[in-house]
Amino acid sequence: MKKILLIALAVLLCLALCVPASASMYESVAEELADAGLMKGTGSSFELDRAPNRVEAAAMIVRLYGAEEEAAAEYAAGKITHPFTDVPEWAAPYVAWLCSKGLTRGISDTEFGSANLCSGHDYAVFMLRALGYEDDVDFTYADGADFAEELGFYSSLLYSGEFLRDDMTAVTYQALVTDVKDSTQTLVETLAESGAVTEAAAKELLDKAAVVKELQALLGEDITALDADIKAAILIKDGQDDENINMDGKLKLLAPDKNDLMTVSLASLLKIAMDDEAFDLDIWLNEGWIYINLVIGEEELPLKLDLSFVTDLMGEMYEDGSMPNIPEELTVTLFDSVEKEISGNDTIFVCKMSGDTISGLIAKLTGEDAEDIMAGYDIENVEVVYTFTNGELKSVEESFSMTYAAYDEDDEDYSYSIDALVLIGVNSIGNDVSIEYPDFSGYIDILSLLDSMPSELDAGNAEAVFF
């Protein structure tokens, strides 16, 4: 039960990041690219969960130059060739064309390194070249990934680990809707002009990107001050038993520096009602400390924890106190669909995501393998709805369903499920947001409390004390 609740909270965290593993995060993106003729599978699937090799990357790059037919024709006519002995016949036109343009070279005079895996850094460099940027003029090979991240189509957070065909799909998609060098025309528009993709396919990609950009423009810069009301309804089905959890409260947030978690101030004051009990849960962040006060009836449990302990646990993700950052441009690849609706003075954006995307984000943010974290869990119906009134953000609604399949002690099928709906009503965003804190002098340091416990108290029992 505890793990499914923790994963549910992680889902909400991922939704909050999408203002965004071994699981395939970008299946729908691959399908969009396939419809445009820019992505091809390997038999019965796209095989997104494995790393691309150099010849697969070469084929994608030639398509992004709009030169697939040209490469095939020139290779067949003997106008272009390559000197490598390890290139499969299907890939020969692509490698020959790239060689003829000076866009690639082998690992030796006679080997292209066809079976070698393509890294995220290398693919980012290839995309820069496709966008018209030149080595040693606009960027150096060593800083290629950093330059690509500045342009908004690459993320060191998402792609610094093993680079999969899944990741290649996302980077390709975002490069397509990025302006080519010294132009207001996107790469996919240039492909449509050359006839490499149809105008209809290009329009579909660009329309989605345009709606996402409009949403981002309305959201403006990163929210540094927020005053909001929160309501949540969670239905948990534990086998044959149902349990309702309702939350109602206030949230105030001050984040003057998004790259320094230690500067964040927070007040989250929630009243939580369950079927058999009710309690208040108040959480504050202030001057590098987390303060938690759990109130059940007349009893209170005031605790505090040095925030640096939490950031240390997160490891490299929060190195030097930095928050994880996903370039906002990449949001277009995280959404399966984004639809815009107009109702009176309201502009509504309905953003839908796949469960695989959420699973992948959880894995990226935790540094764990998605298959290990999400084993047995299935996330569906993920949706984020933003509502703006006269151009100002008024509410954010997040919803999803999640099930966990397992077996009970009699080896019978057994399942948990959660249906969650969270509504954030925005009261204010800006300089007039302020937080009043209670007196924290009586709060107990969690780490000191754990140190004072008897040595025979194991981690499981310690967990029982607090939870």
Tell me, yes or no, whether 195 and 232 share the same domain.
no
Question: Same structural domain for residues 284 and 390?
Answer: yes
* 374 within some domain: yes
Q: Is 375 exposed, middle or buried (0-12, 13-18, 19+ CB in 10 A)?
A: exposed
434, part of any domain:
no
SS3 state at 30 = helix
**Chain segment 241-281, per-residue pLDDT in tens:** 788 889 999 999 888 876 677 788 899 999 999 877 899 99
In the chain, the amino acid numbered 61 is: I
Tell me if 394 is assigned to some domain.
yes
Residue 286 placed within a domain:
yes
> Is 22 within the bounds of a domain?
no
Identify whether the C-beta of residue 210 lies closer than 8 Å to the C-beta of residue 216.
no
Residues 164 and 230 occupy one common structural domain: no
Q: Say what the pLDDT of residue 164 is.
A: 86
The span from the CA of 462 to the CA of 447, in Å, is 12
Tokens of 370: 């998605």
Residue 326 identity: I
Identify the pLDDT of residue 315: 53
Amino acid at 83: P
Contact (Cβ atoms closer than 8 angstroms) between residue 317 and residue 261: no
Q: Determine the Cα–Cα distance for residues 406 and 414; give it in Å rounded to an integer.
A: 5
Residue 365 has pLDDT above 70, yes or no: no
Distance separating alpha carbons of residues 197 and 170, to the nearest angstrom? 18
Is residue 37 domain-resident? yes
Query: Are 188 and 269 in a shared domain?
Result: no
By residue range, what is the domain housing residue 122?
Answer: 27-218
**Which of 150, 183, 218 is at the close of a domain?**
218
What mean pLDDT is predicted for residues 430-437? 86
The Cα 63–Cα 169 span in angstroms is 13
Q: What is the mean pLDDT of residues 206-212?
A: 81
Q: Which residues pair with 286 in a beta bridge?
A: 289
Q: Are residues 282 and 386 in the same domain?
A: yes
What lies within 8 Å, CB to CB, of 250 at 6+ separation is: 227, 228, 229, 230, 267, 268, 269
Residues of the chain above pLDDT 90, percent: 28
**Does 54 reside within a domain?**
yes
The answer on 140 and 274 residing in a single domain is: no
Residue 229 lies in a domain: yes
* H-run or E-run covering 165: helix 165-176
